[in-house]
Chain A
Amino acid sequence: MFNKNLKKSKQKQAEAGKKVYARFVKGKSTLNKYQHLMIRDMSYFEALFNEMLNDKKASVETLEGLKKGREAMRMSLNISPKAKSSEAILKFWATGKMLKAAYKKNKKKKKKKTKQLTPEIAERAAVLANLKKQIATAKVNAQRAATIKAQEKIEEVK
């Protein structure tokens, strides 16, 4: 993840900061397109937070902000907020690597998938989603109807 020459905490912090800044601040508008790089660079975000804990100059507010960001980023891979940074870094790195390999291989498939979504498929998808919603409504209504009638009976015995 880091060049072998970067041995000191400060050096790692600087390198991680550079990566994080480039990906999540400067390049944030491209995150939807390059999700694989976003996941990989979350490992640098973890590293940055971890190294900044050693930095006496780091303000509490900054660390708190980074911690919030770290927790949200961990949510993308269901990594527990309690997990050590080393575990989170390995998971982000391995997943980023996998997604990058897959991105290269499947770049062209996206267009194919979009083409597959003909009106025939799209309309059926909408019908199925509506069907699911209506069934959920019917089940809720059953409980509500039972509750309303129960309330009527409660009023009678009062």
Chain B
Amino acid sequence: MTRKIILKNLLIFFLFFNTVVKANDITSMSGISEAAGSSAQAAADQLASDAGKVAENIAGATEALGEAKSDIGKALDVSIAQAESAMSFATESLAKGDITSAVQAMSLVEGVTDMALGAIPNPTALDMTGVDFAKDFSPAEMAALSSIAGQMGAGKVVAMQKMAGQMNALGAAGFDAKGMMGSLDAQGIGMGAAMEGLANAGMVDMEAVTGSANFDMANFDAGNFASLNVAEMGMKPAMMAGALEALPVGAATAALETLAANPEAMGQMGQTMTGAIVATMSAKGMGKDMMKSMEESIGMQGMANMAEGMKGIEGMKEIGKAMANMGMEGMAKSLSTAFANPDVGIAGAMSGTVGMISQAISGKAPTEKTALQKGTEMKGSFANSMAEAGPQALEMPENISESGMMMGAMVMAKPSLAGGLPGAMAPPEGMTAMGMTSAGVIGADPGVGMTGMAGVMGGAMNPAEMGEAMSGMTGMDAGAMNKLGMAQMAAQTGLTPGMVASMGAAGMAGMDITSVMSTNVAGLGSQAIQGMAAMAAEGTMGASMMGDMMEVGLVNQGTMAAMGAKGMEGLSGAMGMDGGDMGLAAMSGGMVGMGAMDMNAQMNPEMAASMGMTTGATMGDMMGNPAAGMDAEAMSAAGMSGGMMDGGMNLGQMSAAMGTGIDPGKAMGSVANAAMAGNEAGAGLAGAAMGAAMSSQGAAASAMGSHAMGAAMGMEGMGKGSMGEAMGGAMKEGMGGVMGGSMAGAMAGQAGGNMGGAMGNMGSAMGDPGGAMGDPGDAMGDMGGAMGNMGGAMGEIGGAVEGAMGGEGAPGGPEGPGGPEGPGGPEGPGDPK
């Protein structure tokens, strides 16, 4: 009996101890299935091992570096010390099985290092201090500069929202994130310093964000700020017009919804501003029909006419006039801060893109070196020995399947997204930081699941539906899937299987998951966009409006899921695709299930017209004949038979490219080529998922600039198996495709100029394949070549300019303007002689 009691107590003790040790994420996953729990445990163990190495490295660095003497050095020391404390919290969290808090803490450290690196003087960067805007610039010029500032500053706002979301999650988990930021602020490099800069530049209104005129960390509601749209955060009208040019169109409709509810928010500029916002929607390609159908949900009548006289230069003149009426001094002050203060991020972003172009055309790298370049070149420095002692990229085995990729992504979904998606991108409410808080995803006793898309899908995700879709995507037996608990795992993420797949691809390749997911669901936080998706789902949306949706970049994984089978049928049919499984296409975000594309078919003429494409031409013609030059064998290998392209192409990828302003024909051609390359390589779902992730990353780069490229894209070790090869190939296609230029620009503007330096070394006009990022022999080694191809436009700029100027009949050529004997050239009519 006594023995029995002892054994019973031992068992109770063991179970209790085990629960404490494996609390939180691991326990939650174990509750779903043993397989899920083991996978979560493996992630936690790996993370604990790597976090330990990072922590050791930081401790070693602190000792080796000693105490700094300069102010900047001291500030950097504080950031290193704060990183150490956050890593220590991450390690403690992992010991409790709390992967979410650990990942959020580590992400916050990434953001802090960016802020610290951004504070270091950069001799290669543009210095825009001391310009007197009120004296030297006309109202129209100031409006133009405000627009540029808004566009380039939008990324910093998004980056701050990402960090605020992480602070919110960590605060709920018991980490003193505010204390951490306070210490950094004392050195001038924290959240408060950045917010002050953004407020002085007119990118946010301090009163709207914190409820007081000055930033006060104690009263700062990080979760609330992280979830605000651009109108809610009080962005100044002139800046907002620029920011909305960069952000997805849903950000503009969400802003209009806020302004319609609070018309006084824009003050004297109200009418001009609403016109300017509508003009940004129109500039992205939104037609009058779509605007009219949105009027009710936005709560604003006559929207279609508001854009009249507000487009392009006319709009800038109008904004300039409105600003002049209010007094230009305030605007001049805002511009001065926007361009001169490094905390606002505009100078850094502009230096990156401008530097990239000047290097691309000249074929020369800048003579000055950044602090990072100097530090890396220092012999015997501690920094150089860090890499060896730090975590090494885990090599993926050859047998990894797509189901494995999705399951891994589902384990990491909550840890990666618990900070929420930035509100400026107008994600569904359930995916913002506030949504995460109210769903109980974070905190001392967090729940298992995220709300995710539930709010826009008419309720929680159905595990049976998830399982069916995943089975269709991966070909895995439904019974085996149930045993593994995959359907339940998917349902608790609140994401569609397509989103899970692209998260898997993005996460394994080292992309910034928050940026990728933000563009995947951008706009669904707006009632108007939800209304559009519902209209498509009912089958009442006309082809012209569908064309608008494609053109403005509104066809993303989120809207495709909300459109459902009927909406996808209408969309793909109008695009000239036939057959397929539209329910699967909706749930997979267009990765699988799309019908075959008939190259000889004509696109619906209304749709073609609304997308600005030629009506009456065949699909093949519009895509620039992607199969041109292929022999019968190659065409067959690329999935082409009888003028049909098997499996069609992902419309979300095409829409993402078009949403950034890329010509529809080029976008179609690029996505079709990628699909054909994928078919030829047998890339399957993994390749499609990587293609979708790359496309989302490209759209994010266009919206957020350098701040979208926070992670280390191009991580080696994807494996030599077929899946690794497929993903590497899709990544290469993505970098060489139409969105490659945006990504190159964004990477060039990274903090500290680290990527800028690498880009500068990429050879003449960036055409040096296998350059900075190449690692031959590895699937991801293709990145080197891909970077050399960077977006076509970028890779060819030097040649394009020179070729166009030097050809016969060209401006710089014989008889051309600017050339010998041509007008403007030596001995030509424009020559002073």
Contact = CB atoms under 8 A, between A and B. Distances in A.
Contacts of A154: 35, 401, 403-404, 407, 476, 480, 484
Interface residues of B, number: 178
Contacts of A45: 801
Q: Which of A101, A116, A119, A127: most chain B Cβ within 10 A?
A: A127
A29 B798 CA distance: 11
A62 B408 contact: no
Given A76-B356, A128-B117, A120 B371 contact: no
A90 B314 CA distance: 11
Given A14-B823, A20-B818, A75-B741, A146 B113 contact: no
A76 to B, nearest CB: 4
Contacts of B465: none
Contacts of B127: 102, 106, 109-110, 113
Contacts of A48: 811, 817
- The A interface, classified by DSSP as helix, strand, loop or mixed, is helix
Given A72-B793, A137-B392, A151 B76 contact: no
Contacts of B145: 94-95, 98
Contact of B73 (A62, A109, A124): A124
B302 interface: no
B80 A134 contact: no
A101 B129 CA distance: 9
B188 interface: no
B300 interface: no
Interface stretch (B37-45, B169-177, B211-219, B444-452): B37-45
Contacts of A81: 661-663
Nearest to B105: A135
Contacts of A83: 283, 312, 661
A119 to B, nearest CB: 6
B537 interface: no
A106 B130 contact: yes
Nearest to A89: B313
A29 B65 CA distance: 39
A31 B354 CA distance: 10
Interface in A113-127: 113-114, 116-127
Interface in A127-158: 127-158
B497 to A, nearest CB: 15
Nearest to A125: B371
A120 B68 contact: yes
Nearest to B155: A78
Given A29-B364, A38-B358, A143-B409, A128 B483 contact: no
Contact of A97 (B45, B137, B386, B702): B137
A153 B35 contact: yes
Interface stretch (B49-57, B253-261, B574-582, B768-776): B49-57
A126 to B, nearest CB: 3
Contact of A146 (B378, B412, B810): B412
A84 B312 CA distance: 7
A17 B797 contact: no
B451 to A, nearest CB: 22
Nearest to B58: A131
B46 A131 contact: no
B46 A65 contact: no
Interface in A48-83: 48, 52, 57-59, 61-63, 65-66, 68-69, 71-73, 75-78, 80-83
B131 interface: yes
Contact of A62 (B121, B509, B510, B810): B810
B54 A149 contact: no
A141 B811 contact: no
B381 A143 contact: no
Interface string B205-232: 0000000000000000000000000000
B353 A146 contact: no
A153 B129 contact: no
Nearest to B67: A120
A26 to B, nearest CB: 9
Interface band, chain A: 35 or more
B123 A110 contact: yes
Contacts of B285: 82
A95 to B, nearest CB: 6
A99 to B, nearest CB: 6
A30 B364 CA distance: 9
A67 to B, nearest CB: 8
Given A59-B810, A147-B407, A129 B752 contact: yes
Interface string B124-154: 0011111111001100111011011001100
A137 B366 CA distance: 29
Interface string B99-114: 1000100110110011
Contacts of A39: 354
B313 A136 contact: no
A105 interface: yes
Interface stretch (B262-270, B669-677, B825-833): B825-833
A48 to B, nearest CB: 6
B752 A125 contact: yes
A47 to B, nearest CB: 11
A154 B477 CA distance: 11
Nearest to A24: B801
B822 interface: yes
B328 interface: no
Given A124-B77, A137-B392, A142-B46, A90 B313 contact: yes
B712 A125 contact: no
Given A14-B818, A90-B140, A141-B393, A127 B43 contact: no
Contacts of A15: 824, 830
Contacts of B57: 130-131, 134
B141 A117 contact: no
A15 to B, nearest CB: 6
B360 interface: yes
Contacts of B682: none
A145 B391 contact: no
B116 interface: yes
Contact of A90 (B144, B354, B372, B715): B144
Q: Which of A52, A117, A135, A146: most chain B Cβ within 10 A?
A: A146
13 contacts: A11-B830, A14-B829, A48-B811, A78-B705, A102-B129, A105-B131, A121-B73, A127-B80, A132-B113, A142-B44, A145-B46, A147-B396, A147-B407
Q: What 6 A-B pairs come out closest when comparing CB atoms?
A: A147-B408, A126-B375, A17-B818, A14-B824, A126-B383, A65-B804
